[in-house]
Amino acid sequence: QDFDGSDVPKEKHNYQSDVARLRKIVINRQPLLPQVSRATRPTLPGSLTPNVRDIFLRELVSNANDALEKFRLTALKDKSIWDGAEPLNITIKAIKDEDGKGGRVVISDTGIGMTPDELTTNLGTLAKSGTSDFLDQAESGDATGTGNLIGAFGLGFYSSFLVADRVYVASISPKSEKNPNPSQNVFSSSADDSSFEIFPDPRGNTLGSHGTEITLYLKDDAAEYLDTDKLQALVNKHSSYSSTFPIYLSVRESHQVPDEDEDVVEPAPSEDEPTEASETSSETAGETPETEKKDAEDSDEAIVEEEVEEKPKAPPAPPKMKTVFTDEWVQLNAQPPLWMRDPKSTSDEDYELFYTAFWKDYTKPLGWQHFSGDSESGTSFKSIIYLPGKIDEEYWKQPLAYQSNDIKLMVKRVFITSDLGEDVLPKWASWVKAVVDAEDLPLNVSRETLQSTRFLRQLKQIIIKRILQLFNRIAEDDEEKFKKISDVYNGVFKLGAVEDVKNRDKLTALTRFSTNQRNFTSLDQYLENKKQGQKQIFYLAEMGKTPENLAQSVFVEKLHARGYEVLLLSEPLDEILVQNLRHYKNVAFQDVAKAGLKFGDEDVEEEEKAEKEAATERYQPLLKYLKEFSKDIVRDVIISSRLVTSPCAVVADSHGYTANVQRMMNAQNAKNQPHSYIQEFAQKAKVLEINPRSPLIEGLLRRVQQLPEDSEERDEETEAELNEVASILIDGALVRSGFEVPDSNLFFTRVDRVLRRSLGVSETAPTDATVKPAPPVDPELPAEEYVEPENSFVEWNEFKDKKAMEDSAKFGDKPGVHLPDHMKDHFSIEMEEIDDDDNPVVRHDEL
């Protein structure tokens, strides 16, 4: 009897809109044969078909495993639903049609099953996070990309429609208080329906007391999935690690039996009757593979014995033999789970496949550590921890609030939970994926009891220790690989070093930086390259600039010229990190844009000191002049010992703001904070340094010296010119040092004037500023109707005041405020009622 062969009442439901979108993409999946036109598709040999749709099996097996896990957990609490003896497993069977062309694949599990309501909600709506991302990408992307997308997201149940025209899901959930009389029901949908049906299974109860059976009627071009070798290969590749429950495949085995005794071979299907044989087995779907297999073995034994007994004295002529076929269940994942195996005999590919199947993450992991251990509390366990190949974007949105639940705790191979509470790992490490199988915990351990166990606390330390060891080992042994790790994890190391004081040193050692001399430097390598006497780790931080830009900075020029290494920090976390660390291995960090920079080589410093004193003496008039001139911007003007070619720079005091911090403060102030006096003080805590060896500075000194002492002899024009040059010089120093000029319009007006002067053009000659005015006012209204762009409208309904909403009817049918999407989060809208004279209505006096 099949699913449709009865007049049971069928409830029709429409798919939720997202499911409908998803199914459309899956069913019309263009990329299946990306390089081939539609017309030629059907004639292609199966082997050319890219394997996008192979994923259906992986997805259904993974769902079956989840259902079994749920069942086992439920049974731990409610002993009445499972006696522990009835097998929990997954079975896969391919059944060919009578005409031998098409057929169906049936995937069953003895898991938690679904009630009719659950069939409707679980299979008719989408609850998966990330699905809308998938939909958007798939719908906007070109067709060829969709295949990869399908593989990368994992479409769950809906991937059935990659291979099937029609899908039936028969299911029964175990008896419970809510569901005292469970019955077996069917979900049915064809690939091109926009709806599905739910109805009582016309075949009655075939699944026993709990479980699900998914029957896929294969599309014409998907007959390859009837081949058990293919199914076996797929399970081996994608699913052997995704379930700790046995997965059985029904495989047709051939046997040689004596031809004479027709009765004996009767139970087994003959070669000419493949369909009948398949049907016989499918009717026994309620039986477990184990019982079926046992029956088959029993009957085989009986045959042998009968023959021996009946013909003891027969002439020794060889009996006539013929081939018969039986369907037998073969377990596909008979090996112990990966974490129980010997790491020495486990290949990288095994670890990668296990990772993908277990966490449904299709980006290859960057590393793993497989180990066994004993916690101090006496629990022994085996574990594999992984470094994911990418970190979830959510993590970087809110790293300190992120919780991934990716540590899967098993007890004696049985999955217990992946919710180990918020503090199972320090926040910086919340991306770790690990499986931990403990031997000595009770199977019914609850999350609450778990959290109070010493085991969990120790596990946290063990995982962190192992993760750090793993990073270290790769850093030491394989620089190329560590570069890849760094691409993903450098920010994590920096965050960890700030957040996790206990592991700060180890995490800091893993961070890598660009410098003026090389690209991938650890702080230890920096210290190895430290010059004699150097007592500081030099760095320059400016968020958003590239290290190449930073290397050109005025603050780096002398250090670079002398051969010192300077860390060039351009990542958002960098400056926070050095501020928190303050020193590494007892060597202090020194911001080269700040006062306090010391090279540490005494001879040079003595020499420079003398030179500086002499220059200060010589440049006194210019220093005095500039100090007076720039008193609103800097605290002092001094002779520099950090500049080589640049004429001047603005250096922050050790307690003042660098340009980087200044920018961050400005951004902050722009948001809401008022300026404080401390901030103003810190802003001005900077010094203008001039380079006595720069010809420009020497020239300026000469000009200042030429200014007449006597105020009677002053020439205003010459003085104005000099002031202008000095202004440009100071503004230039600000820009060169990363600060903003106080008034950029004034700055460019001055530059223009100086340019005119140097070109001999009149300084006062006006530019022809005539422009063509706009045409006169157009009294006509636009002919075409304005089309509302989607989503640019803050719906009236969103306003909380319902009364205002009702009143709004008189303003037209869709009043509202238009905002571009990217601005919506930054605005709140308040409204007030106004009267005919545009005055706000504060009180309704008449009320």
Ligand X SMILES: Nc1ncnc2c1ncn2[C@@H]1O[C@H](COP(=O)(O)OP(=O)(O)OP(=O)(O)O)[C@@H](O)[C@H]1O
User: Which residue ranges are tagged as binding site?
Assistant: 59, 63, 109, 114, 122, 128-130, 212, 447
Own/partner long-range contacts of 615-620 (Cβ < 8 Å, ≥24 apart): 615/639, 615/692, 618/692, 618/701, 619/690, 619/692, 619/697, 619/701
Backbone angles phi, psi at 471, to 5 degrees: -60, -45
User: Which is closer to ligand X, CB of 124 or CB of 491?
Assistant: 124
Running DSSP on this structure, what letter comes out for residue 261? -
Q: Where are the beta strands (DSSP E) in 573-684?
A: 583-584, 587-591, 636-639, 648-652
Torsion angle defined by CA atoms of residues 672, 677, 679 and 681, in that order, rounded to the nearest 10 degrees: 160
State the nearest-atom distance from the C-beta of 100 to ligand X, in Å: 29
Question: Closest-CB residue for ligand X?
Answer: 156
Residues 367/510, Cβ–Cβ less than 8 Å: no
Q: Select the span of 58-66, 224-232, 589-597, 623-631 touching ligand X (CB under 6 A).
A: 58-66
Write the CA distances from 259 to 256, 264, 373, 580, 826, integer angstroms.
Answer: 9, 9, 59, 86, 84
Applying CB under 6 A, does 426 fall inside the site for ligand X? Answer: no
State the nearest-atom distance from the C-beta of 17 to ligand X, in Å: 16
Applying CB under 6 A, does 242 fall inside the site for ligand X? Answer: no
Q: How many CB atoms lie within 10 A of CB 809?
A: 10
State the nearest-atom distance from the C-beta of 178 to ligand X, in Å: 16
Q: Which helix (H) or strand (E) holds 665?
A: helix 659-671
Applying CB under 6 A, does 627 fall inside the site for ligand X? Answer: no
State the nearest-atom distance from the C-beta of 290 to ligand X, in Å: 20
State the nearest-atom distance from the C-beta of 453 to ligand X, in Å: 28
Q: Which residues pair with 254 in a beta bridge?
A: 325
Burial class (CB in 10 A: 0-12, 13-18, 19+), 401: exposed
Any idea what the Cα angle at residue 457 is, between residues 455 and 460, rounded to 5°?
105
Sign of CA dihedral 61, 64, 66, 72: negative
Residues in the chain: 847
Q: Which residues pair with 367 in a beta bridge?
A: 387
State the nearest-atom distance from the C-beta of 68 to ligand X, in Å: 8
Applying CB under 6 A, does 551 fall inside the site for ligand X? Answer: no
State the nearest-atom distance from the C-beta of 113 to ligand X, in Å: 6
Applying CB under 6 A, does 757 fall inside the site for ligand X? Answer: no
Name which position in 26, 123, 191, 634 contacts ligand X (CB under 6 A): 123
Pick from 109, 105, 80, 84: which is nearest to 95 by CA?
105
Name which position in 10, 24, 96, 128 contacts ligand X (CB under 6 A): 128
Applying CB under 6 A, does 150 fall inside the site for ligand X? Answer: no
Applying CB under 6 A, does 163 fall inside the site for ligand X? Answer: no
How far, in Å, CA of 19 to CA of 156, rounded? 11
Residues in contact with ligand X, shown as a per-residue x/- string from 266 to 305 under the rule CB under 6 A: ----------------------------------------
User: Which is closer to ligand X, CB of 114 or CB of 649?
Assistant: 114
* Structure token digits, residue 393: 């974007």
User: Which is closer to ligand X, CB of 419 or CB of 548?
Assistant: 419
How far, in Å, CA of 280 to CA of 547, rounded? 72
Applying CB under 6 A, does 174 fall inside the site for ligand X? Answer: no
Applying CB under 6 A, does 237 fall inside the site for ligand X? Answer: no
State the nearest-atom distance from the C-beta of 332 to ligand X, in Å: 17
Q: Select the span of 57-65, 437-445, 519-527, 606-614 touching ligand X (CB under 6 A).
A: 57-65
Residues 373/163, Cβ–Cβ less than 8 Å: no
Q: Which residues pair with 249 in a beta bridge?
A: 92, 330
Read off the amino acid at residue 110: T
Running DSSP on this structure, what letter comes out for residue 149? H
Applying CB under 6 A, does 114 fall inside the site for ligand X? Answer: yes
User: Which is closer to ligand X, CB of 93 or CB of 466?
Assistant: 93
User: Which is closer to ligand X, CB of 68 or CB of 303?
Assistant: 68
587-591 and 185-190: which strand pairing?
A: unpaired
Name which position in 124, 151, 154, 647 contacts ligand X (CB under 6 A): 154
Q: Select the span of 152-160, 315-323, 572-580, 627-635 touching ligand X (CB under 6 A).
A: 152-160
Size of the site for ligand X (CB under 6 A): 18
Applying CB under 6 A, does 379 fall inside the site for ligand X? Answer: no
Applying CB under 6 A, does 109 fall inside the site for ligand X? Answer: yes
Backbone angles phi, psi at 566, to 5 degrees: -125, 125
State the nearest-atom distance from the C-beta of 482 to ligand X, in Å: 32
* Structure token digits, residue 422: 């918020």
- Would you give the end-to-end CA distance of the chain in angstroms? 74
State the nearest-atom distance from the C-beta of 207 to ligand X, in Å: 11
User: Which is closer to ligand X, CB of 65 or CB of 375?
Assistant: 65
Applying CB under 6 A, does 67 fall inside the site for ligand X? Answer: yes
Applying CB under 6 A, does 124 fall inside the site for ligand X? Answer: no
State the nearest-atom distance from the C-beta of 156 to ligand X, in Å: 2
Residues in contact with ligand X, shown as a per-residue x/- string from 332 to 371 under the rule CB under 6 A: ----------------------------x-----------
Alpha helices in 513-619 (DSSP H): 523-528, 547-551, 554-562, 572-581, 602-618
Applying CB under 6 A, does 157 fall inside the site for ligand X? Answer: yes
Site residues for ligand X, window 564-623 (CB under 6 A)?
none
- Max distance between CA atoms of the chain, in angstroms, equals 148
Pick from 357, 407, 394, 378: which is nearest to 154 by CA?
357
Applying CB under 6 A, does 404 fall inside the site for ligand X? Answer: no
Pick from 215, 254, 214: which is nearest to 64 by CA?
214
State the nearest-atom distance from the C-beta of 111 to ligand X, in Å: 5
How far, in Å, CA of 41 to CA of 219, rounded? 14
Applying CB under 6 A, does 151 fall inside the site for ligand X? Answer: no
Name which position in 25, 61, 112, 615 contacts ligand X (CB under 6 A): 112
Applying CB under 6 A, does 63 fall inside the site for ligand X? Answer: yes
Q: Where are the beta strands (DSSP E) in 29-143?
A: 90-96, 103-109
User: Which is closer to ligand X, CB of 358 or CB of 526?
Assistant: 358
Residues 683/656, Cβ–Cβ less than 8 Å: yes
Q: Select the span of 111-119, 268-276, 402-410, 552-560 touching ligand X (CB under 6 A).
A: 111-119
Name which position in 64, 475, 577, 648 contacts ligand X (CB under 6 A): 64
Applying CB under 6 A, does 521 fall inside the site for ligand X? Answer: no
Q: Could you tell me which residues are annotated as the binding site for ATP?
A: 59, 63, 109, 114, 122, 128-130, 212, 447
Residue with the two structure tokens 């303050």? 582
Name which position in 103, 151, 156, 337 contacts ligand X (CB under 6 A): 156
User: Which is closer to ligand X, CB of 167 or CB of 626?
Assistant: 167
Residue with the two structure tokens 């993974």? 62
How far, in Å, CA of 588 to CA of 538, rounded? 9
* Structure token digits, residue 802: 């319902």
Q: Select the span of 122-130, 394-402, 587-595, 638-646 touching ligand X (CB under 6 A).
A: 122-130
Interface with ligand X by CB under 6 A: which residues? Answer: 59, 63-64, 67, 109, 111-114, 122-123, 128, 154, 156-158, 212, 360
